[in-house]
Amino acid sequence: MSEPAQINVPVRDAIRFLLTRRSGSAKRMTGPGPSPDELETILTAAMRVPDHGKLAPWRFIVFEGEGRSRFGEVLMRILKTNEPDASAERLEIERTRFLRAPVVVGVVSRVRTDVPIPEWEQTLSAGASCFALSLAARALGYVASWVTEWCAYDPAVRAALSLSPQERVAGFIYLGQPSDVLEDRPRPQLSAHVTRFGA
Ligand SMILES: Cc1cc2nc3c(=O)[nH]c(=O)nc-3n(C[C@H](O)[C@H](O)[C@H](O)COP(=O)(O)O)c2cc1C
């Protein structure tokens, strides 16, 4: 993507897009998912985020095709170890967890401690990346669902994903089409979340 920086964005449309966007549900997602070209665009947008110190403190793990079921087998095996009494239904949920959407992107936050940039700011950049990824997917006609669930935090899953101690899963972002109408959810009242300094 080598668009000129001064590209004339239709601002009204962008505001409408931001004020009406919402997530899909990972549980109610179907295909098709983004094409390889679209996914490249989505991931490129996910890297175009504020990033103090130009550290690029994130990386992406794409789960698509067979990779989703292979990861499901890993999750099932780990759950069996964690919970030897887990029911067959629960194991099946893990086996098929990443099959809920055609594409899932794991956004990994990678914090460096050898630089003067606060870790908090590096972590925030990974959150921005998750949201930019979600917005780009929505703009291309897909829905996104940013979830973490147990697998973002489990030590054995971390090892299976080859995460270093400085890395954390910021989100698994499910991408696809909604399988039913997207209802909105109640939104917070602006006035409850804004104060004016000195007023
Ligand atoms: C870091 C993070 C982790 C989340 N993890 C989950 C999760 O594990 N399960 C879940 O149902 N929603 C999770 N959510 C919430 C959804 O992504 C989303 O905010 C919610 O469904 C409503 O989204 P919307 O305001 O975009 O419509 C998470 C959100 C964030 C920011």
Q: How far apart are CA 183 and CA 147, in angstroms?
A: 18
**Would you put residue 162 in left (φ > 0), alpha (ψ -120 to 50) or beta?**
left
For ligand 1, the distance from its centroid to the CA atom of residue 148, given in whole angstroms, is 8
For ligand 1, the distance from its centroid to the CA atom of residue 64, given in whole angstroms, is 21
CB neighbours of 44 closer than 8 A, spacing ≥ 6? 1
Which residue bears the tokens 């990972």? 26
Cβ < 6 Å from ligand 1: which residues? 22-23, 145-149, 171, 185
User: How many alpha carbons fall within 13 Å on the CB side of residue 69?
Assistant: 2
Per-residue pLDDT tens over the stretch 2-16: 555 555 667 789 999
- What is this structure's pTM? 0.95
Q: How is the chain split into domains, by residue range? A: 26-64+101-180
Per-residue pLDDT tens over the stretch 171-198: 999 999 999 888 899 999 999 999 999 9
E strands, the chain, are: 29-30, 58-64, 103-110, 143-147, 167-178
User: What class, spelled out in words, does domain 26-64+101-180 have in CATH?
Assistant: alpha beta
- CA-nearest residue for atom 21, ligand 1, is 23
What percentage of the chain exceeds 70 in pLDDT? 95
For ligand 1, the distance from its centroid to the CA atom of residue 185, given in whole angstroms, is 12
CB 46 within 8 A of CB 60: yes
Per-residue pLDDT tens over the stretch 17-63: 999 999 999 998 999 999 999 999 999 999 999 999 999 999 999 99
